[in-house]
Amino acid sequence: MTASSAYLPPGLPTPAADLDDLGFWEHCNRRELRIQRCSACGHFRHTPMPTCPACRSMDFTWAEVPGTGTVFSHTIAHHATHPALRGFGPYNIVVVLLDGADDVRMVGNVVDVAADEVHIGMKVVLHWEATAEGGYLPRWRRA
Amino acid sequence: MSFADRTAIVGIGESRYGKRASILDISEFALLCQAIKAAADDAGMDIEDIDGFCSFGDERHEPVRVQQALGLPRLRFSNMVWGAGGGGCSGAVMNAALAVHAGICNSVVVYRSLCQGQYQRFGQYRPRPIGGSHMAPFGLLTPAQFVALTFRRHMHLYGTSTDALAEVAVAFRSHAQRNPRAVARSPLTYEDHQASRLIADPFRLFDCCLETDGACAIIVTSRERARNLRHVPTRILAAAQASNPGWGLGPSGSHNMAIDDYATVNSRELAKALFGMAGITPSDLDVAQIYDAFTGVVIMALEDFGICGRGEGGPFAQAGNLRWPHGALPSNTAGGLLSEAYLHGLNLVIEGVRQMRGDSTAQVDNAQTCLVTSGGAQAHKSALILARD
């Protein structure tokens, strides 16, 4: 699949970064998957938040992670729940348990499989999808 | 003495209920006023005795406007529980009881109005300014999808089948068929369920709650005042709000709740608090009203509240245990959110009160205690145990 073929149709909401998660999206736009990691105790956390839930330290780094993971759960969306999805679908939505980031999960899509092929336990790798705004969204391919 | 000994639910009121966009001749706000007037009439109290107002996230109509429209002389307490959807519903009842118990109010109304034909639909995308960036760009847009993900994991862990989902939908529909207020009363079979279109796999159309128009309200007052009113009072034996540690926004966020909590409805801490306060166990319950935004939520709630063991929710339902009149725990005896109406769960509290009064259209014989749970896919949860006084 090429970067120009988007998995979902244009018109869906795009990330609207705030001061808590700006670093995450800025790295995505450079095709780097970096997850917030506590500088004091090393615990990974997501989505980005000001304080480490494990030790309450507010010091952190954006730690690069391998960009591989496992499908933790999935659904196939059939019903058009947004005007941009009328006449489109079905499409998969997955929760990916990341490798090398404690128990951090990310919501995403596996772009290169038929809807009924997605299953829990499937190994996936990052697929950077170019956005109309010139950035990148983290989606997934079968490993 | 706690508020459980000092307060009671004395009035219940409902507007007419209809399918989404079927009520367009009268405003949502007018339906709300009808419901509150009906609750005062039901209680047999002077409406001017209402001096407190409680609701929960997603209510549109502020207490000051309700007070104004109903010509009420006093507003002494105005309170909204955090969280979107129905999670705060039982919490709003709790707050009403606390305000009465504290001596701040004489009588508090708890209310919900929700006309999806006049305002937005909950089954369609709504922007979520906090956390939405990590969901919506990936097409994760609505509660059916949020819970489909957690329930899919439940199927994986425990082998839960969609037959269990069908049983929940069919059982609650059979209860709704006895209830003249219910919006969905046509017969529903297992085959109808399995043949209905997929919304978010594994959920089909009949796994999803209704989209309706309507309003409802209940009135909480002191147990002492309750003795002089029309009905046998319904006691609030226990009320609790809770969220498991680290849950955050859970399935309506980025799905980073604790892995051991993932295939749950975030109600295990809630159940501990609730049954601890009530001094009873799940086996003591006579009837239940379980928040049923989706059939799968019911399966997971049965486990969280200890009505059955973890992973046993599917078989428990499939054995007919939720059915009136012979199941071990007849549930959602008015049809629930799946078949009566979607009032974010306040109609479940009303049905619980009817059971305690002996007035349900699917009355459980000699019912003395009723569990009411609030919340599906959203953040924190709340629940009640009602008791006949």
DSSP state of A110: B
Question: Which chain B residues touch A81 with a CB distance below 8 Å?
Answer: 123-125, 141-142, 144-145
Q: What is the CA radius of gyration of chain B?
A: 19
- C-alpha B381/C-alpha A2 separation (Å) is 44
3-state helix, strand, coil in chain B (%, to 5): 40, 20, 45
pLDDT for A35-57, tens place per residue? 999 999 999 999 999 999 999 99
This model of the complex carries an ipTM of 0.97
Is residue A82 assigned to a domain? yes
**Best of B128, B151, B255, B262 to mutate (most A CBs within 10 Å, chain A):** B255
- In this complex, do A8 and B139 lie within 8 Å of one another by their Cβ atoms? yes
Burial of B19 (0-12, 13-18, 19+ CB in 10 A): middle
- Could you please state the CATH topology (level 3) that the domain comprising B141-202+237-383 is classified under: Peroxisomal Thiolase; Chain A, domain 1 (3.40.47)
User: How far A25 CA lies from chain B's nearest CA (Å)?
Assistant: 10
pLDDT for B180-193, tens place per residue? 999 999 999 999 99
pLDDT at res. A1: 41
- In this complex, do B125 and A47 lie within 8 Å of one another by their Cβ atoms? no
Is residue A2 assigned to a domain? no
**Best of B120, B130, B138 to mutate (most A CBs within 10 Å, chain A):** B138
Non-local CB neighbours of B300 within 8 Å, separated by 6+ positions: B150, B151, B154, B263, B264, B265, B313
State the pTM of this model: 0.97
Q: Is B11 helix (H, G, I), strand (E, B) or coil?
A: strand
Is residue A5 assigned to a domain? no
pLDDT for B318-367, tens place per residue? 999 999 999 999 999 999 999 999 999 999 999 999 999 999 999 999 99
Cβ neighbours, 10 Å, residue A14: 16
Q: What number does CATH give the domain B3-121+213-226?
A: 3.40.47.10
Count: domains in chain A? 1
- In this complex, do B134 and A75 lie within 8 Å of one another by their Cβ atoms? no
pLDDT at res. B379: 79
Closest CA to A129 of B137, B174, B321: B137
User: How far A113 CA lies from chain B's nearest CA (Å)?
Assistant: 15
B200 touches chain A (CB under 8 A): yes
Question: Which chain A residues touch B127 with a CB distance below 8 Å?
Answer: 13
Is residue A3 assigned to a domain? no
CA B355 distance to own-chain centroid: 15
Q: CATH 3.40.47.10: which residues of chain B?
A: 3-121+213-226, 141-202+237-383
Choose among A17, A78, A108: nearest Cβ to B201. Answer: A78
B326 touches chain A (CB under 8 A): no
pLDDT at res. B155: 98
User: How far B176 CA lies from chain A's nearest CA (Å)?
Assistant: 26
DSSP state of B294: B
B131 touches chain A (CB under 8 A): yes
**Best of A20, A51, A95 to mutate (most B CBs within 10 Å, chain B):** A95
B253 touches chain A (CB under 8 A): yes
pLDDT, averaged per 10 consecutive residues of chain B (389 residues), comes to 91 97 95 98 98 96 98 98 93 98 98 93 86 95 97 98 98 98 98 98 98 97 96 97 94 94 97 97 98 98 98 98 98 98 97 98 98 89 96
pLDDT, averaged per 10 consecutive residues of chain A (143 residues), comes to 74 95 98 98 97 98 98 96 94 98 98 93 98 95 97
Is residue A113 assigned to a domain? yes
Give the range of the structural domain holding residue A74, as residue numbers without chain letter.
22-142
- C-alpha B106/C-alpha B100 separation (Å) is 6
Is residue A6 assigned to a domain? no
Question: Which chain A residues touch B258 with a CB distance below 8 Å?
Answer: 103
Choose among A12, A72, A104: nearest Cβ to B139. Answer: A12
Question: Which chain B residues touch A91 with a CB distance below 8 Å?
Answer: 139
B291 is annotated as an active-site residue: yes
Choose among B156, B199, B246: nearest Cβ to A53. Answer: B246
- In this complex, do B148 and A108 lie within 8 Å of one another by their Cβ atoms? no
